[in-house]
Chains A and B, each alone.
Chain A
């Protein structure tokens, strides 16, 4: 074959490969840039004033019938089954005798003007024990270190389905050291599931500020150190379809105020 034609063809092929590679990589870069620009709108780093901040507390109650809980069939994994002496109920709805609802994520959705707070130095721990996540509903701050622990003698798989945060899907066999993760974008809520044990799931609320709480078994929650202002406070509760339901309320607080805001979640 003619040498010069061969040479030209090889140049063309190389050019094509380079263009193909660059364009393949470009989409991801563009996506990242878009994300940074959005995040870049709020760059102020604020601090929490616990002494002068307001406290927002309240109670979550159910309105209507309590959705019937179902026992989880853990027979598929003898390790999970052996970890419990009594049947474990699916913890989608933990409702007390007076209708108080646990595991509701309450947070300031709007009104902070995009202020960003420094992530705490402490590490948040998610424990997989008895083939359930502990805690089931939780909040962390953007950039806060999360460690995921497997206390069971069986393999779990941590599959986080964030839409804004990068998804991850990693196995954790028994005895594996803790996994460390950081969620770097604000997102409420990120469903996390175990693909090995279909019943295992939990939700993470990731915020740029520390004004969030999860209702306890008594249905109560408390958010401290809130700066004076008018806010939209939102209560989020999971639903069986995984989409979750949320209820918003407006509230205005002054310095050192202590205000109550109760939520009523619709049952069945």
Chain B
């Protein structure tokens, strides 16, 4: 194992007893090199964009619930939103169609790139990697800091889209050309450029993070922390970092090419002879391919889905094992199935393009490779159930969310199999069925896991406990209202309701769906309330929560061996790892405890070693 030299600011007492010194406010809280501070910075950044994305989701739901802009609920909420948004977005109590387009586009963009991804691969990757592998910090603390600040700037650039003429990007989070390439088509001018530039920055940030995580996990594991003793969150983050490293550059290339098409007059994605409102397009020679974007985007986009779910799986595995007081069922199978999902994830992008025009034989190939993903996913699901089975269950909020994750992921995974089938997908493509599916995976899946993980690791992050009572209120409100919003989406989709539609009531076959949409929208507002309760609980607990014990959950992994607050450099002494991370209720656990921490030597270890010497 090679040696990584950490900057002086990072080195802990164990590494440099005399090097520890007080840092200025700027270096300690803003431009910090400490992975824990950067993790918390990512936590606040993601929470802020979770709020922004959530607010935009409520705009979308308000419009869909009452497309005729009547009813007391619509009117009262529209008047509240009128105070937040400008006259160009909501005027006379009416959500304007352009703003609606921007709202759903930016909702998805913020949630994917600025909430879920930085929660998982910013907050938890940063917080957990050094603490769980027994390292003083990341391999490249400065890259780590750059990664956060690039993400921060990217977020501001993305947000600024709302303040430029023409409004924020409105061509959907997939930004298909020609809609995204030709401003005349969407009416969006600078907003789309900012979207592209922001995602490019965010992509660089992700790459910096990925390089850092991979290097740290490979090189900086504590003695005894073999690959098969790594906690599953670390495995999941490691695999995800590899995915990021391979997938994000492809998106970067696509973003740059689209930026060229928009600003330099190139035609990578603009076909020859394109008519815009009946007139030939001027300013472009044409000759490009709209399908090129779709291939590039989805070559990134499908691994991206796994980037957002694999770390969530890792976090959930940890929580389920701890609160079942049982070893994770099938540790090796869990690792292999995550690797399998990641590998297959690169071979399935064509399933997003069944309707775009494709050789049917190729469609079949993509259909089969997509269905194969069900195998490792099912292995994981059964292993989670196996972990729960017969466990001494502790019903904490984190546990509730982890179980919620498994249940919701199962629904999202099953609806995914519907879509993987080419003939079925032709029927439900671009309908609300797809919207339902993605939210079961990304909200019921990833976000539930993130909520659970925040409840679980909060005591180590802030040295205080979050309120369990309000956590349960959050869970039940979120769980019930989540299903109220997203389950009916499958029904809407089967009825043919198109995604991204502003007013479906103009269609005779859809107008009867308004009451169902109104119910979903009310549930969406309750879901929004539950997230507010969560954020309030989090902020309140940082200052007023009960002081957390060192190991409140009686967990085995290394982070729970460090006293709060965790010092720079993390470990006073280099930890030594003697066993895997899930030794719960094992017959040989020391004393009364039902868990065997990774760093506790087996009985007689010291004497045996002395004897050997």
Contacts and interface: CB of A to CB of B under 8 A. Distances in A.
Nearest to A20: B197
A51 interface: no
B594 interface: no
Given A161-B277, A175-B92, A170 B142 contact: no
A173 B193 contact: no
Interface string B500-522: 00110010100000000000000
B154 to A, nearest CB: 12
B92 A177 contact: yes
A27 B193 CA distance: 14
B90 to A, nearest CB: 10
B338 to A, nearest CB: 31
A160 B506 CA distance: 24
B97 A157 contact: yes
Contacts of B277: 159, 161, 191, 193, 195
B279 interface: yes
A171 B279 contact: no
Interface string A233-253: 000000000100000000000
A36 interface: no
B163 to A, nearest CB: 15
A176 interface: yes
B92 A176 contact: yes
A154 interface: yes
A202 B257 CA distance: 36
A171 B97 contact: yes
A242 B278 contact: yes
B69 A161 contact: no
- Taking residues whose C-beta sits less than 8 angstroms from the other chain, chain A's interface range is 20 to 34
Interface in B268-287: 276-279
A268 to B, nearest CB: 21
A44 interface: no
A173 B186 contact: no
Contacts of B183: 167
A65 interface: no
A107 B423 CA distance: 58
B278 A155 contact: no
A169 B186 CA distance: 7
Contacts of A154: 506
Interface in B163-184: 183-184
Interface string B61-92: 00000001100000000000000000000011
Given A27-B263, A167-B184, A193-B277, A173 B142 contact: no
B344 interface: no
Interface string B87-116: 000011010111000000000000000000
A11 interface: no
B279 A176 contact: no
Given A175-B69, A176-B92, A155 B263 contact: no
Interface in B577-591: none
A1 B186 contact: no
Contacts of A174: 68-69
Nearest to A76: B506
Task: Give the interface SS of chain B, mostly helix, strand, loop or mixed.
Answer: mixed
B142 A1 contact: yes
A48 B97 CA distance: 42
Contacts of B94: 173, 175-176
B187 interface: yes
A171 B92 contact: no
Contacts of B263: 24, 27
A169 B187 contact: yes
Nearest to A243: B279
Contacts of B276: 161
Given A171-B97, A173-B94, A177-B91, A1 B140 contact: yes
A31 to B, nearest CB: 11
B344 to A, nearest CB: 35
Contacts of B502: 155, 171, 173
Contacts of A193: 277
A4 interface: no
A195 B503 CA distance: 14
A77 interface: yes
A154 B193 CA distance: 32
Nearest to A167: B184
Nearest to B503: A155
A175 B503 CA distance: 14
Nearest to B165: A166
B279 A155 contact: no
B278 A173 contact: no
Nearest to B99: A171
Nearest to B187: A169
B520 to A, nearest CB: 20
A6 interface: yes
A157 B185 CA distance: 12
B263 to A, nearest CB: 6
A184 B106 CA distance: 31
Question: A10, A157, A169: which has the most chain B beta carbons within 10 Å?
Answer: A169
Contacts of B508: 78
A175 to B, nearest CB: 6
Interface string B337-376: 0000000000000000000000000000000000000000
Contacts of A159: 187, 277
Given A24-B193, A193-B277, A173 B140 contact: no
A197 to B, nearest CB: 11
B453 to A, nearest CB: 31
Nearest to B204: A13
Interface in A1-56: 1, 6, 10, 24, 27
B98 A171 contact: yes
A6 B142 contact: yes
Interface string A167-194: 1111101111100000000000001010
B269 to A, nearest CB: 18
A85 B92 CA distance: 31
Nearest to A176: B94
A250 B506 CA distance: 51
Contact of B96 (A1, A27, A176, A195): A176
Contacts of B98: 170-171
A161 B407 CA distance: 51
Contacts of B185: 169
Given A24-B263, A77-B506, A176-B92, A161 B187 contact: no
6 contacts: A154-B506, A159-B277, A161-B184, A170-B96, A173-B94, A175-B92
Interface of A: 1, 6, 10, 24, 27, 77-78, 154-155, 157, 159, 161, 167-171, 173-177, 191, 193, 195, 242
Interface of B: 68-69, 91-92, 94, 96-98, 140, 142, 146, 183-187, 193, 263, 276-279, 502-503, 506, 508
Query: Lowest 7 A-B CB distances belong to which pairs?
Result: A171-B97, A169-B187, A177-B92, A176-B94, A167-B184, A242-B278, A173-B94
